[in-house]
Amino acid sequence: MGNTRMSEQITRDPAYNTVDRDDFRSMIEVDRYAERSTAFDGIIAATHDHFWDPLDKAYIDFDQPFDVASEMILPAEQIIELNSAVADKLDEGQRIGLANEVLRWNLSSILHGEQGALSLSASLCHILRDQGAQEYASNQAREEARHVTAYAIYIDRRWGKPLPVGECLGDLLEELVLTPVVYKKLVGMQILVEGLAMGAFANLHRHTNDPVLKRLTQLVMTDEAFHHKFGKIWADKTIPTLTREEHDKVEDWAAQCFEILLFNLANIRQRHYIYEQFGLDWEWVRDACREVFGENERRNSLKTGTNIFRVLVKTLLSAGIITDRSRHIYGAWVDMAELEGEQDFVVGDAIAAEGIEYLRGINAGRKVIGQKPTAM
């Protein structure tokens, strides 16, 4: 990987045999074409089960109306600002406006995350020697592309333009896309970001008042559930084979990312311009939110099954990345013994399964999957 030391390249697993991103010659070595593993065949074969097209109203109709000026897309209890003194300074119309603008910021973050996932998945095609892994990475890039399209359309229909990416998320996505270090790409995107995403989508699906957003999150989760499995296949095959030095690097970096995201992902300073629209000083908003959401409240929020950080910790734990070296970092926020006692399921899998059945009903009536019906 360029100037990266070999110890930073996790290449021992034959299913994730990688080359330097500039070393195309290795991709056209004759012997490589006979080295395709079968590790990813199951999730590759399943791609037809969850095909959907965001531009086809048979799958989702973004033109269904929702008045963001008179109704909250998420209920007030899901908006931390409206559970603080901030709500007392606003009239009902302003409370609705603030709630929907905060959600606009969150959905814009998801949109930026999907673009990051698209760019990263495409970059994996340059370094994965195994054709099965490469094929799935290319398929994931295709699916992330439709997520970018879908969220861009949804935000456009409800508000117009998306909001700029927050500093914390933007820095993380840039690192993951541009890094030459393989484990950062795979752990960072397929486990960290996909773990956060599954929690976020499950929470949106559960609480939204907008039928279009509910359908959108379900459709996206039919894809993301398999993207998560892609990372899990890698973790199950690779993490147990690592040297102690290599495992420590992965574990330490994951713990560092967890703490950065926990305290900064939704940092109020990053969306100061939203509060200015309502005549609110962002520092006062921050202090008001801290009064009702301190460390104890943050810790209690991680007891909820769909909390994005609880889902993330469970994902890292089941992947074998967390050991006694870093357990205390996560244990300060979530009951690790309780997590270990839970069944090994991914939050959102049930929603994804329902979405797949919905898609099968649509796709079964089409001669060519993805082909729009023609008028008679």
Which residues are CB-neighbours of 335 under 8 A, at least 6 positions away?
A: 303
Q: What does the alpha-carbon distance between residue 269 and residue 283 come to, in Å, rounded to a whole number? A: 7
- Say what the pTM is: 0.90
- Residue 29 has which token pair? 């070595």
> Is 131 a member of any domain?
yes
Provide the pLDDT for residue 12. 34
> Is 371 a member of any domain?
no
Total Cβ atoms within 10 A of residue 322: 23
Provide the pLDDT for residue 347. 74
- Residue 191 has which token pair? 């486990």
Number of domains in the chain: 1
> Is 199 a member of any domain?
yes
> Is 137 a member of any domain?
yes
Region of 10 on the Ramachandran plot (φ > 0 left; ψ -120 to 50 alpha; else beta): beta
Q: What does the alpha-carbon distance between residue 7 and residue 161 come to, in Å, rounded to a whole number? A: 43
> Is 3 a member of any domain?
no
Provide the pLDDT for residue 306. 82
How big is the chain by its Cα radius of gyration, in Å? 21
CATH number for 219: 1.10.620.20
> Is 242 a member of any domain?
yes
- H-state helical runs in 280-348: 282-292, 295-301, 308-318, 327-331, 336-341
First and final CA of the chain: distance in angstroms?
55
Q: What is the pLDDT along the chain (376 residues), one digit of tens a residue?
A: 334 333 344 433 343 578 888 889 989 999 999 888 898 899 999 998 999 999 999 999 999 999 999 999 999 999 999 999 999 999 999 999 999 999 999 999 999 999 999 999 999 999 988 898 899 999 999 999 999 999 999 999 999 999 999 999 999 999 999 998 888 888 888 888 888 888 899 999 999 999 999 999 999 999 998 988 888 887 887 888 888 998 999 999 999 999 999 888 889 999 999 999 999 999 999 999 999 998 899 899 988 888 889 988 998 998 899 999 999 999 999 999 998 888 666 778 899 999 999 999 999 877 664 556 555 4
> Is 322 a member of any domain?
yes
- Residue 97 has which token pair? 């406006």
Provide the pLDDT for residue 332. 94
**Residue 261, SS3?**
helix
**287-309 as b/e: b if 16+ CB within 10 A:** ebbeeebeeeeeeeebeeebbbb
> Is 43 a member of any domain?
yes
Contact status, residue 247 vs residue 323, Cβ threshold 8 Å = yes
Q: What does the alpha-carbon distance between residue 157 and residue 147 come to, in Å, rounded to a whole number? A: 15
Residue the block writes with tokens 């199951």? 42
Q: What does the alpha-carbon distance between residue 222 and residue 282 come to, in Å, rounded to a whole number? A: 37
Domain ranges, residue 200: 10-363
